[in-house]
Amino acid sequence: MTTVAPSGGTRERTSLAAGIGAVPPERAGARPTGRPRRFGGRFRILVAAAVTLVFVAPIYLMLVNAFKSQDDILANPITPPWPPTLENVTQALTRPDNLIPLGLRNSLIVAVVSVALLVPLGSAFSFYISRRRGRTKAAILVAFAAGLMIPPQVTLLPTIKILTWIGLDHTYPGLILSNLGGGYLSFAVFVYVGFMRSVPDEIIQAARLDGASGLRVWWQIVMPLVRPATATVVIFLTLWIWNDFLNPLFILGPLQGQTITTGLYLTIGQYSVDYGQLFGIMFLAGILPVLGYLTVQKQFVAGLTSGASK
């Protein structure tokens, strides 16, 4: 005799079959809701925006106030210039003491001559170091690392003493000579050494077999291969030398119009400040570095991103 199962058994079999493909409760509970990720992404965006604002705010204030009158700057330095005026820039360029034209000219000469000497010195020395092995190379790199770590204020007084001893104090050749040592040369050496290590030895050995001297190999073969490194070194060193304040102030002495940074310092009065002219001078001082960066920006970006795809 056949017995018919109760309807409750059918429910059990149905629930058992459905439970075979069901997701375990612990896995189902681990399903992301998306809220923590959204909160973390928004927090990072806010932090990035705050950091960007810190760096952009001084540039914004300089740009908007360079084309505003003194009264408008004192009333509200944040608002854009309306109507804009070129009076600040014109007054800065037509000062009776020629402070700004002389400062721009002297800063340009000092920066160009210093970098023009630092690039071949740093690259040639780096080429020599990159082809050496052993403890001698490590000792030389440690010495250059000390040049980067020691603050320039510590070596300023000994540098002035040496320049006085050789008769180059209060001179532009003395200022250029002081730029050839210390952290500037160390930075150039470390950048070039990292790039020259990637130059294959086969290329250098083939050039030597063809009769090329070491000087020719360095200048005609290695230097074209490390062109991004040269652009990186040129941009950084030019900006650092252009913005240098202590060396021109103490090495050259109280000479008006010596460099653009010390010229900017001389425009600040003891009891009153012409902010319009001050921002105009700051605007003029920032034009040349920006134009120089735009000229070699492709090589500069290539130098920073080299090796990222290796």
The domain locations on the chain are: 36-88, 97-266
- Averaged pLDDT score across all residues of the chain: 79
Q: Which CATH class is domain 97-266?
A: mainly alpha
Question: Which residue has better confidence, 7 or 136?
Answer: 136
Mean pLDDT of 230-244: 89
156: alpha, beta or left? (left if phi > 0; alpha if psi -120 to 50): alpha
**Total length of the chain:** 310
HSE (CB half, 13 Å, CA atoms) of 211? Answer: 0
Task: Indicate the pLDDT class of residue 241, thresholds 50, 70 and 90.
Answer: very high
Q: Which residue has the tokens 């059918």?
A: 10
User: Rounded to two decimals, what is the model's pTM?
Assistant: 0.75
Mean pLDDT of 278-297: 80
- Which range of 6-20, 164-178, 261-275 scores highest in mean pLDDT? It is 164-178
Compute CA distances 146 → 1, 86, 180, 196, whole Å: 101, 46, 15, 21
Residue 255: Cβ-neighbour burial (10 angstroms; 0-12, 13-18, 19+): middle
* Rounded distance between C-alpha atoms, residue 236 and residue 184, angstroms: 9
Question: Which residue has better confidence, 260 or 27?
Answer: 260
Q: Is the pLDDT of residue 80 over 80?
A: yes
Mean pLDDT of 291-310: 62
Query: What pLDDT, on the 0 to 100 scale, is given for residue 100?
Result: 80
By mean pLDDT, which of 89-103, 244-258, 290-304 is the weakest?
290-304
Q: Is the pLDDT of residue 153 over 70?
A: yes
Closest CA to 195 of 283, 294, 129, 270: 129
